[in-house]
Structure 1
Amino acid sequence: MSEDSKVSGSSESADFEVEQLIKAVKTQGLVDDIVDGVYLGLLAICIIFIFMFAVFTPDLYELFPFFSYLASLFSKIPNVVLNFGTFYPEIISYLKSLLLSFPKNLDEFKALSVLYNSHISEFLSAIDYKTVILVFSWGAYVWHAYLDIRQRDMLHQIYRPPQIKSLVSRKAFLEANTYGLDKSSLKMMQSLFEQIKLTLAFYYDVLPLIWHYTGSFMHSKLGLGPEYEITHAILFFVFTTLINTISSIPFDLYGTFVVEAKHGFNNQTVSLFVTDLLKTILLVSTLGPLVLSGLLWTINKTGDNFYYYVMLFMMLVQFIGITIFPTLIQPLFNKFQPLEQGDLKSAIEALASRVDYPLKKLYVIDGSKRSSHSNAYMYGFFKNKRIVIFDTLLKQTNSQEVCAILAHELGHWKYNHVLKMLVAGQLQIFLIFYLFSLVIKQQKMYSDFNFTTMPVFIGFTLFQYLYIPLDSILTFFFNKLSRKNEFEADAFSKKLGYKEDLKQGLIKIHVENKGNLNPDKLYSAYHYSHPSLVERLRALDDPLVAPKSD
């Protein structure tokens, strides 16, 4: 066979693969049309329910007079447009009244705080908690479904957008899209299943049934009475965790042995999958009760202002977790081996020395044992730092690109990004438990779900669904902060002279891992803690994006 015929055959084969990928992307179009209709219908129903809840809950206006003002303001919009000059003084007058109502000294602040707490308590005691939680839960579900639909529209594109045309081949673009569609389909089905399961559990009062069952078990088998609430909560936690784990196994199996295998990522065997599952259940059933018992003990022993102490407790838990995960837990699942002597190890050690990173050990982890996805990370406190590189990353990139990626990770260390995110996380924990303190003693929240007592763990479980709207808002903030950190870490790698190597490394990682090359902006803002590939490459090429000063 001549060289020309070989080239021609290779070209025809590549064209055929592209055509097959285009068909795969288009095939899911009809299914998406049906799914879109269902989800948009659910979205409309959810909006109607939320509107009805707001309209028929006048207590909202009593608790937050500003809502009432907004309602009257909206009714006056036509007048504002036609005669803004006469309406402007009314707005100024209202803003002045708000400023004048602010407390001017500590006594006024205390009086206002007492009044505020009284209004809050009165309002919270009148809520139909089951209805509110179901509305919030379905609202969050429909919101996520809406984002998924937007993202699937992007994944159905068969032509590369101009901004990535020069970066990846059309085949790589289509492969990433088909992988994204398959993952999205599985995710949407699992989300629907979980939402229906949750709704049925609330509607048929499954939680109080499990609480009663575990209480009876504790009394009959362990000889413990209802005063052992922490033990009861641990039994409830373990039982519900097992139920949730078992119900998710079919989706995990399909995701691993169908979706991941179809796209060439899965390297797991069934026996390894089962072993990992059993190890995970054992760890959760062991470590979970330890954390839970400490949390409940802290809440029970520290009074109404328990949220201060809970924040300190959770801070301790986080630091312990950061310490033991890479040294005790991950070795249960992966093997760590020192990086062999050679040019790469010398280059990494030189890089660490260059930025004064106290590197003590350098490991390679057998990530390929389970998946072809790649990664690298650092851990350790003070002068005992370690770097871990997945063996898959070493296969996908060259030595200079590995150093560029590690320079990015060193940027996170240099700018204290981990510490900053930990502080932000602690503030969120404080907010969560402060808000929980407002409802922890609301007997109606428990009785609405047919609980005859007020267990703290049950209260916190229910509260998490009340927190959903605020959590959705904070998700945008935390992702924004995380993406800012990623840009700074990229700029640090660029500062060290790895600009082109980092760009090539990022492109290779995205192509090899079939990452989302063209995400929907709103979907990305809500779900992604990292900027998109295009955004990162654009920032690296922008001379105005300078690294932070040391």
Structure 2
Amino acid sequence: MGRDADSAEQRDAAAGPAQRRTKSSEERDAAVDAQAAIVLQKGTLDDVIDGIQIGLLVVTLICLIFVAVFGSSLPDIFPVTRPVYDAVLGVPDLVRGVPAAAERAWAEFPRTADEAAQLWAVWGAWFGEALHGLPYKECVLVFSWAMYLWETKLNIRQRDRLHEVRRPLAISSFISRQVYLEANAYGLDKSSLALVRDAVGQVQTTLIIVYDLIPMLWYAVGDLAEAHLGLGAEYEITHSVLFFVAATAVSTVLSLPFDVYSTFVVERKHGFNKQTWGLFVSDAVKSFLLVVIFGGPLVAVFLWVIGVAGPRFYLYTWALLAVVQLLAIVIYPTVIQPLFNKFEPLPAGELREAIEALASRLHFPLKKLYVVDGSKRSSHSNAYVFGFFKSKRIVIYDTLIGQCTTEEIVAIVGHELGHWKMNHVPRMLAMAQIQTFLVFFAFGCFVGEEAMYASFGARTAPVMLGFVFFQYLYEPLGSVLQFCSNVVSRINEFQADAFSKKLGYGKQLAAGLIKLQIENKSTMNPDPLYSAYHYSHPPLVERLNALDNPHVARKTE
């Protein structure tokens, strides 16, 4: 046995460099093929998705056959189809009536301030009457399932992309097949978790709405508060704060299994997770306590303002939340985040000198330059800028320093300074304020609607419950506004990239973006519709194409 081992070692030593390179190449090819098999493999979840899609197709074909066979007799045979049948038949009349309706609208369009006020009053009265008879619970269920089906369809489209094993030509020159497959395998695991999480969450939401579990929790908290604390119905604000804490605890418990699986299975499997169980539990407890400590008083002040401000409370609650958001921008990085991560000054050296020189060149008021121990929890990397007025700070993750060269990190910091130079943060804050105002203005239309409370099974009409119910109604509009925010964010990212390129870091930024894409195993070839709806940053290929364009962002001194 010893002689056989010795002879094998001697043969390996005698093998020429070409033979060793061939053996190494074969091993790499085998590893790539094994990774491709993982990406191509479709598991139980994919079989379920395929089965549902085939089932929907079969149902559609059956419906078409029934329509073709029974024709106009279909509503008489199946009365449940009558609304759909009448709606379809009404489409031609609706289309033919558009010109006349447009003409009437133009004739009635207000020309003076008095006419506008009268029209507003008429619409307001009509809207108020409509709210009285609105089937709130049914509307929420329809909205919720419509949003779930739409987003699930997008997730399935993205999943189909992740099952691809051939690299697109646009990335084949700088992304190896192994890296591409590893990113897709990571994306598939995250996609599986997201699909299961969304399905469970949708079932939970449906049960909560159908069985009136929100009012049930409200009254249970009230009974306990009265029995053990002597707090009656007159202590609505205290009751609301206790309800907020209970609801937060329930939400945390329901999401905990998915957080554990994401951290200790998916992230660990792909080499990202660095957390211990102790750190995970500590973070979870800290997060819950912070929500309670900051959220509880905010709920109390919010309800107090509504109580004293009258019908136009939305102006005051909007102003309150605007102040809170500005304070959060200051408090989070300086008070809250240090509870989770350690911030230290970036050591003296080439990187610090290069960043300080860039900040001086741009007249950026850099007060502190930190490195944060992101590697304590994850291998993902990042850099960001925060602060107000003449007190700005730059934070760089230690993982970024380990992944990129000095010039690449400076290019990435140049991108972040581009956001500052072009006032992207104030603009996004302004958009957030517009969205906040719309939320509270719309809430003002529903807060006193007794039909809404009754529809969800509430015996009384506390403001806190009304706001929870309203959030379900607001969900479709919130998704539309979030999509608009993502569109603006992607535009800002292109502009910040162009800014870094003008500084002379175009190639370095491109190299840094590629490295970050590889190190973070981000999706290399996302579905266009999925990325347009979900992504706040443009896909890598689009950013590289913009940086390569010779007519965009020429270098300036």
TM-score by length of 2: 0.89
Q: For the residues of structure 1 that align with 2:130 and 2:54, how far apart are their CA atoms?
A: 32
Residue 355 of structure 1: aligned partner: 362
Residue 546 of structure 2: aligned partner: 539
Q: For the residues of structure 1 that align with 2:215 and 2:116, how far apart are their CA atoms?
A: 40
Residue 373 of structure 1: aligned partner: 380
Please say if 1:10 is aligned against 2:24: yes
Moved more, 346-355 or 224-233: 224-233
Instruction: Indicate if the aligned counterparts of 2:215 and 2:465 stay in contact, CA closer than 8 A.
Output: no
* Equivalent residue for 2:482, pick from 450, 475, 484: 475
Following TM superposition, by how much is the alpha carbon of 1:167 offset from its aligned partner in structure 2, in angstroms?
Answer: 1.9
Residue 70 of structure 2: aligned partner: none
Q: Secondary structure at the match of 1:341?
A: coil
Instruction: Indicate if the aligned counterparts of 1:486 and 1:531 stay in contact, CA closer than 8 A.
Output: yes
Structure with max Cα Rg? 2
Following TM superposition, by how much is the alpha carbon of 1:300 offset from its aligned partner in structure 2, in angstroms?
Answer: 1.9
Q: For the residues of structure 2 that align with 1:227 and 1:206, how far apart are their CA atoms?
A: 23
CA-to-partner distance for each residue in 1:357-381, whole Å, 9 max, x for gaps?
0001100000000000000111111
Q: Secondary structure at the match of 1:28?
A: coil
CA-to-partner distance for each residue in 1:280-330, whole Å, 9 max, x for gaps?
111111111122122222222211122211221111010110000000000
Following TM superposition, by how much is the alpha carbon of 1:416 offset from its aligned partner in structure 2, in angstroms?
Answer: 0.5
Q: For the residues of structure 2 that align with 1:36 and 1:121, how far apart are their CA atoms?
A: 45
* Equivalent residue for 1:466, pick from 473, 477, 494: 473
Give runs of ≥4 in structure 1 deviating > 4 Å. 39-46, 52-56, 70-73, 90-93, 547-550
Following TM superposition, by how much is the alpha carbon of 1:274 offset from its aligned partner in structure 2, in angstroms?
Answer: 0.6
Q: For the residues of structure 2 that align with 1:470 and 1:53, how far apart are their CA atoms?
A: 29
The aligned amino acid for 2:471 is: Q
* Equivalent residue for 1:20, pick from 34, 37, 42: 34
Residue 393 of structure 1: aligned partner: 400
| Change in 2 beyond 3 A, CA 1:282/1:39 | farther
Please say if 1:227 is aligned against 2:234: yes
Following TM superposition, by how much is the alpha carbon of 1:264 offset from its aligned partner in structure 2, in angstroms?
Answer: 0.4
The 5 Å alignment of 1:54-203 reads 74-75=92-93, 93-203=100-210
Please say if 1:505 is aligned against 2:512: yes
| Change in 2 beyond 3 A, CA 1:211/1:72 | same
Q: For the residues of structure 1 that align with 2:241 and 2:554, how far apart are their CA atoms?
A: 48
| Change in 2 beyond 3 A, CA 1:102/1:53 | farther
Q: Aligned residues, how many?
A: 524
Instruction: Indicate if the aligned counterparts of 2:503 and 2:555 stay in contact, CA closer than 8 A.
Output: no
RMSD over aligned Cα, in angstroms? 2.5
Q: Secondary structure at the match of 1:421?
A: helix
Following TM superposition, by how much is the alpha carbon of 1:97 offset from its aligned partner in structure 2, in angstroms?
Answer: 2.4
CA-to-partner distance for each residue in 1:325-361, whole Å, 9 max, x for gaps?
0000000000001000001100000000111100011
Residue 80 of structure 1: aligned partner: none
Q: Secondary structure at the match of 1:368?
A: helix
Q: For the residues of structure 1 that align with 2:302 and 2:49, how far apart are their CA atoms?
A: 41
Q: Secondary structure at the match of 1:303?
A: helix
* Equivalent residue for 2:531, pick from 504, 524, 531: 524
Please say if 1:292 is aligned against 2:296: no
Residue 336 of structure 1: aligned partner: 343
Instruction: Indicate if the aligned counterparts of 1:308 and 1:430 stay in contact, CA closer than 8 A.
Output: yes
Where in structure 1 are there 5+ consecutive unaligned residues? 59-67, 78-86
Following TM superposition, by how much is the alpha carbon of 1:546 offset from its aligned partner in structure 2, in angstroms?
Answer: 3.5
Q: For the residues of structure 2 that align with 1:230 and 1:547, how far apart are their CA atoms?
A: 58
CA-to-partner distance for each residue in 1:521-548, whole Å, 9 max, x for gaps?
1100111000000000001111333489
Q: For the residues of structure 1 that align with 2:454 and 2:53, how far apart are their CA atoms?
A: 32
Moved more, 421-430 or 36-45: 36-45
| Change in 2 beyond 3 A, CA 1:97/1:282 | same
The 5 Å alignment of 1:415-454 reads 415-454=422-461
Residue 4 of structure 2: aligned partner: none
Q: Secondary structure at the match of 1:505?
A: helix
CA-to-partner distance for each residue in 1:431-488, whole Å, 9 max, x for gaps?
1111111111110110111111111111111111111222222222111100000000
Q: For the residues of structure 2 that align with 1:362 and 1:131, how far apart are their CA atoms?
A: 53
Following TM superposition, by how much is the alpha carbon of 1:75 offset from its aligned partner in structure 2, in angstroms?
Answer: 4.0
What percent of counterpart residues are identical?
49
CA-to-partner distance for each residue in 1:393-419, whole Å, 9 max, x for gaps?
001100000000000000000000010
Instruction: Indicate if the aligned counterparts of 1:130 and 1:449 stay in contact, CA closer than 8 A.
Output: yes
Q: For the residues of structure 2 that align with 1:287 and 1:41, how far apart are their CA atoms?
A: 48
| Change in 2 beyond 3 A, CA 1:414/1:71 | farther
Residue 52 of structure 2: aligned partner: 38
| Change in 2 beyond 3 A, CA 1:247/1:30 | closer
The aligned amino acid for 1:527 is: H
Q: Secondary structure at the match of 1:364?
A: strand
Instruction: Indicate if the aligned counterparts of 1:476 and 1:526 stay in contact, CA closer than 8 A.
Output: yes
Where in structure 2 are there 5+ consecutive unaligned residues? 1-12, 64-79
Q: Secondary structure at the match of 1:379?
A: strand
The aligned amino acid for 1:421 is: M
| Change in 2 beyond 3 A, CA 1:197/1:92 | closer
Following TM superposition, by how much is the alpha carbon of 1:93 offset from its aligned partner in structure 2, in angstroms?
Answer: 4.8
Q: For the residues of structure 2 that align with 1:380 and 1:45, how far apart are their CA atoms?
A: 57
Q: Secondary structure at the match of 2:311?
A: coil
Q: For the residues of structure 1 that align with 2:419 and 2:535, how far apart are their CA atoms?
A: 17
Q: Secondary structure at the match of 1:377?
A: strand
Residue 63 of structure 1: aligned partner: none
TM-score by length of 1: 0.91
Moved more, 204-213 or 503-512: 204-213
